[in-house]
């Protein structure tokens, strides 16, 4: 009830980007009773949301016109820039833009420098996959302003952690997701080592799960997640572009070595059997 009190003055929320994450997030907000207008580059993905009660927009500009709050959940910095070109001139003074994509701090700060007068930008990338997006159990890492209505909406998506000025949520997101991706890659490789040494797979998994990599073991065998390998490779590139990280450079080589896995969940790195 408290969350809804904070957002009761919002008359229009635009949600742009209805992929694996955006669609369940938008559906969750819609189910919470928020007035949602949706847009997606591939229009067919927006239709189920329209059938559930969202207003369908034909372009990003049409979606954000007169919106109090704009949420974006897009693949990468290129997608965010492409959408921003259409969105920026259409935002009304007083609008709040909240980007939940994983694009790194540089893209967020570049976008913040281009905002029209009277518009705020908050980066709010998320940890947690499609299953947590659907249930409103994400971990939301916030950089920049967090006015009451923005906080109210983000609290519907999950647990909100303030990180500092604009871009800091995206910076922390890169740190956390690279730790997860690296951990998954190491666990997948040590499972392969266990196979090569002739050990039973169940024994190796159970014993690994008792140690400090327990969380990564859980992610390697997760069933409700869908984090495509190609997006994981993008997150590692965003990190290795910013600092010398030789271990993560090797992880990126592993992630890009098998293009047939690009759209599969990160757990597909584990060996068969």
Of 172, 107, 120, the C-alpha closest to 151 is: 120
With respect to ligand NAP, which residue has the nearer C-beta, 49 or 204?
Answer: 49
Catalytic residue among 3, 9, 159, 173: 173
Chain position whose Cβ is nearest to ligand NAP: 19
- The number of residues making up the chain comes to 273
Binding site for ligand NAP (CB under 6 A): 17-22, 40-42, 45, 73-76, 78-79, 82-83, 101-102, 126, 129-130, 225-227, 231, 235
Smallest distance, ligand NAP to C-beta of residue 121, A = 16
With respect to ligand NAP, which residue has the nearer C-beta, 42 or 273?
Answer: 42
Smallest distance, ligand NAP to C-beta of residue 181, A = 11
- Composition of the chain by helix, strand, coil, percent to 5: 50, 15, 35
Distance (Å, rounded) from C-alpha 19 to C-alpha 69? Answer: 19
Active site residue 9: no
Smallest distance, ligand NAP to C-beta of residue 248, A = 15
- Helix/strand/coil for 201: helix
With respect to ligand NAP, which residue has the nearer C-beta, 45 or 47?
Answer: 45
Residue 22 corresponds to which tokens in the numbers above? 């955006």
Smallest distance, ligand NAP to C-beta of residue 193, A = 27
Distance (Å, rounded) from C-alpha 52 to C-alpha 37? Answer: 11
CB 207 within 8 A of CB 246: no
The CA dihedral of 264, 267, 268, 271, to the nearest 10 degrees, is: 180
With respect to ligand NAP, which residue has the nearer C-beta, 74 or 157?
Answer: 74
Smallest distance, ligand NAP to C-beta of residue 109, A = 17
CB 164 within 8 A of CB 140: no
Smallest distance, ligand NAP to C-beta of residue 227, A = 3
Residue 273 corresponds to which tokens in the numbers above? 């059997």
CB 26 within 8 A of CB 74: no
With respect to ligand NAP, which residue has the nearer C-beta, 12 or 234?
Answer: 234
Residue 139 corresponds to which tokens in the numbers above? 């971990």
Distance (Å, rounded) from C-alpha 186 to C-alpha 98? Answer: 34
With respect to ligand NAP, which residue has the nearer C-beta, 225 or 240?
Answer: 225
Of 6, 57, 59, 55, the C-alpha closest to 35 is: 55
Catalytic sites, residue numbers: 173
């Amino acid at each position: 009830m408290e969350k809804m009190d904070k957002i009761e003055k919002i008359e229009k929320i635009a949600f742009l980007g209805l992929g694996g994450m955006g669609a369940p997030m938008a559906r969750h907000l819609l189910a919470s009773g928020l007035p949602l207008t949706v847009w997606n580059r591939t229009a067919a993905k927006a239709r189920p949301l329209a059938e559930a009660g969202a207003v369908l927009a034909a372009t990003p500009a049409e979606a954000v016109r007169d919106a109090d709050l704009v949420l974006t959940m897009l693949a990468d910095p290129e997608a965010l820039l492409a959408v921003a070109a259409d969105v920026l001139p259409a935002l009304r003074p007083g609008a709040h833009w909240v980007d939940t994509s994983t694009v790194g701090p540089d893209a967020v700060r570049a976008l913040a420098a281009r905002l029209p007068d009277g518009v705020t930008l908050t980066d709010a990338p998320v940890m947690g996959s499609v299953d947590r997006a659907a249930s409103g159990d994400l971990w939301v890492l916030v950089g920049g302003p967090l006015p009451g209505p923005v906080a109210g909406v983000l609290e519907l998506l999950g647990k909100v952690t303030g990180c500092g000025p604009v871009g800091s949520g995206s910076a922390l997101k890169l740190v956390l997701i690279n730790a997860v991706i690296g951990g998954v890659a190491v666990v997948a490789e040590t499972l392969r080592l266990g196979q090569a040494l002739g050990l039973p797979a169940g024994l190796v998994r159970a014993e690994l799960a008792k140690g400090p990599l327990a969380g990564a073991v859980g992610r390697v065998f997760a069933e409700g997640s869908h984090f495509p390998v190609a997006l994981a490779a993008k997150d590692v590139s965003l990190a290795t572009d910013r600092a010398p990280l030789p271990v993560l450079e090797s992880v990126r080589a592993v992630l890009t070595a098998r293009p047939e896995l690009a759209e599969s969940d990160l757990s597909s790195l584990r060996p068969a059997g």
